[in-house]
Amino acid sequence: MNWVMAACDAINRSVGALVRWLALFMVLLQFFIVVLRYVFGVSFIFLDESVLYLHAAFFMLGAGYTLLVDQHVRVDIFYSKASARGQAVIDLIGHVFLLFPAMTVLLIFSWPSVARSWATLEGPISVGGIPASFLLKSLIPAFCVLLLIQGVACVLRDWLRLRAQPVDKPRALS
């Protein structure tokens, strides 16, 4: 069981390590766009779309890592007051009955659109934009798969916590 958790964690930790650089690149690109527009009076649609693509990639691919390090949004009405066992039950119910079904449905229903987009190598969102909408749409199934992978590790951790076994809490990248 530990090797499965470690493998799932390693996947999202690796993706998280890569994706965090997208934030820096996105900020630098946006700065470059602003300088071009307001200093030189030049604008390129493909550069504006690049920021959109980077933003989407940053959040969609970083979601699994966010779940890994337990920094996702949680409605904390009961959770904070619950015992460790109660928290494990809440987490387990959330992962099994909310995360898994939602990601499975999103994956199933988005797949035909993504497949059609790849089949036609769907072009830019806007005239003069990046001719690769199929790449942008591919982030949806990647998002689902990364969250499902991390969800498996979370369910295994929840199960161990319910059995009162020691579980290492994954740490964020430094």
pLDDT at 77: 82
Q: Convert the pLDDT of each residue in 10-34 to its tens digit.
A: 999 999 999 999 999 999 999 999 9
| Contact criterion met (CB below 8 Å) for 126 and 43 | no
Nearest to 170 by CA among 162, 156, 108: 156
Q: Convert the pLDDT of each residue in 135-169 to its tens digit.
A: 999 999 999 999 999 999 999 999 999 988 777 77
- pLDDT-derived band at 73 (thresholds 50, 70, 90) equals confident
pLDDT at 76: 77
Q: Convert the pLDDT of each residue in 77-92 to its tens digit.
A: 888 889 989 999 999 9
pLDDT at 147: 98
Residue 168 CA to residue 91 CA, distance in Å, equals: 16
pLDDT at 53: 97
| Contact criterion met (CB below 8 Å) for 103 and 147 | yes
Residue 37 in tokens = 């527009």
Read off the pTM. Answer: 0.91
Mean per-residue pLDDT over the chain, rounded = 94
- pLDDT-derived band at 1 (thresholds 50, 70, 90) equals confident
Q: Name the residue ranges covered by the structural domains of the chain.
A: 2-162
Nearest to 115 by CA among 140, 78, 85: 140
pLDDT at 33: 98
